[in-house]
């Protein structure tokens, strides 16, 4: 479960380098998230060394095809020294490459966090289904049907509320395009389509009870995307209101960073490497930290970049196909799990 993944990040000694870099990222991210309380200059001083270290460790892991815990400590020290030297280059020239850093950072960060959030949603949904299935009859039968029907209906209700709020928000705010308010409706239709597909699998005696839990987990991300997109497009003018929204979005973004890194660490290196073919686990994490830091520092370097806006809106549009793909993939994957479960009996 997620607790075990978090323990792996914060407790296990083999993940100390990742933990240090994660805390480093969080400190810089916090400074940039609340410019009214912290000097952005401090963040601009913190992030260049982090960019250097992550860049070198990413290349090292990518070239050697190993996770950092498998690399000799002498190589890690040498890589750290090189990263520190590269940090000076970032400090000196990042204002000239800010546009490239920003585009590179924002696309990478959105893709990695969205994909692994979806992956985690599937993972924990499958685990919930497995726990329900292990109960005695007829409890497991009733619970799994409740998960499927109840979770789906509740998720549709929540997304409908989100869509109504989005539509009203867009109607009353000229800065917000009406099309964004329709994304909630599109997501509802995707949910209904996936639920119908789950019902059709009953023909093969496969009840995809996990779908209801999956939908509920996904609604959290939908709410975050909508509020971050609309808040970026429109400022209420109420400082106290803005601060509340700012803190809530910060907490979700912070949780998303920790959650994604913990989820990546929680999976076996061999499993992810076999899936991605190219990168090892730590290489993915280094890329994630680098892209988030690059995104934040690029935003600070050039205020003309509507970073929060593009981040939120692009994330919203990328999320729609990812949601559909993840749902279909989950149904296919569950079919294989069901076969393995039946063959083991």
Looking at residue 148, its pLDDT comes to: 92
If you ran DSSP here, which 8-state letter would residue 125 be given? Answer: H
Instruction: DSSP letter for 234, please.
Output: -
Q: At 211, list the tokens.
A: 């779908």
Rounded to 5, what percent of the chain is helix, strand, coil? 85, 0, 15
Describe the crossing of helices 183-200 and 139-171 by its angle, rounded to 10 degrees.
160
Look up the pTM and report it.
0.79
- CA 293, CA 50: separation in Å to the nearest integer? 8
Residue 65, phi then psi, degrees to nearest 5: 60, 40
What is the pLDDT, as a whole number, of residue 172?
66
Burial of 41-72, coded b for 16+ CB within 10 Å and e otherwise, reads eebbebbbbbbbbbbbbbebbbeeebbbbebe
Nearest 5°: the CA angle 71, 287, 267 is 65
Q: What does the pLDDT profile of the chain (345 residues) look like in tens digits?
A: 566 667 777 777 777 888 888 999 999 888 888 877 777 667 667 887 888 888 888 888 777 777 777 777 777 778 778 877 777 666 655 555 555 666 677 777 778 888 888 888 888 899 888 888 888 777 888 888 999 999 999 999 998 888 787 777 766 665 555 556 677 788 889 999 999 998 888 877 778 889 999 999 999 888 887 777 777 666 544 444 477 778 888 888 888 888 888 877 766 545 555 555 566 777 888 888 888 887 777 666 655 555 555 666 677 778 888 899 999 999 988 888 777 766 665
What are the tokens at 61? 């892991």
Q: According to the model, what pLDDT value does residue 112 have?
A: 81
Count of CB atoms situated within 10 Å of the CB of 181: 22
For 305, residues 6+ apart whose C-beta sits below 8 A from its C-beta are 98, 99, 102, 298, 299
């Amino acid at each position: 479960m997620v607790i075990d993944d978090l323990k792996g990040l914060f407790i296990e000694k083999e993940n100390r380098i990742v933990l240090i870099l994660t805390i480093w990222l969080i400190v810089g991210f916090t400074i940039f998230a609340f410019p009214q309380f912290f000097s952005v200059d401090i963040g601009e001083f913190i992030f260049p060394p982090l960019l250097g270290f992550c860049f070198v460790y990413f290349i090292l892991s990518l070239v050697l095809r190993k996770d950092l815990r498998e690399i000799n400590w002498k190589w890690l020290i040498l890589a750290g020294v090189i990263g520190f030297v590269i940090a000076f280059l970032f400090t000196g020239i990042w204002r000239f490459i800010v546009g490239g850093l920003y585009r590179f950072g924002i696309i990478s960060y959105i893709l990695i966090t969205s994909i692994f959030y979806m992956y985690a949603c599937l993972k924990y949904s499958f685990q919930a289904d497995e726990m329900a299935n292990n109960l005695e009859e007829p409890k497991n039968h009733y619970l799994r049907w409740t998960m499927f029907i109840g979770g789906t209906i509740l998720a549709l209700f929540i997304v409908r509320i989100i869509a109504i709020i989005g539509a009203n928000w867009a109607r009353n705010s000229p800065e917000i395009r009406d099309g964004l308010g329709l994304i909630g409706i599109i997501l509802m239709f995707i949910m209904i389509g996936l639920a119908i597909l789950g019902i059709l699998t009953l023909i093969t005696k496969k009840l995809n009870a996990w779908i209801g839990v999956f939908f509920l987990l996904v609604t959290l991300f939908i709410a975050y995307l909508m509020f971050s997109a609309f808040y970026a497009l429109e400022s209420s003018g109420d400082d106290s209101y803005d601060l509340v929204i700012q803190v809530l979005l910060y907490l979700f973004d912070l949780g998303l960073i920790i959650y994604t890194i913990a989820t990546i660490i929680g999976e076996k290196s061999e499993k992810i490497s076999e899936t991605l073919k190219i990168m090892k686990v730590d290489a993915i994490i280094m890329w994630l930290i680098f892209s988030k830091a690059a995104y934040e520092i690029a935003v600070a370097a050039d205020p003309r970049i509507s970073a929060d806006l593009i981040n939120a809106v692009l994330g919203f549009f990328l999320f729609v196909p990812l949601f559909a793909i993840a749902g279909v993939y989950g149904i296919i994957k569950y079919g294989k799990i069901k076969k393995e479960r039946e063959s083991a009996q």
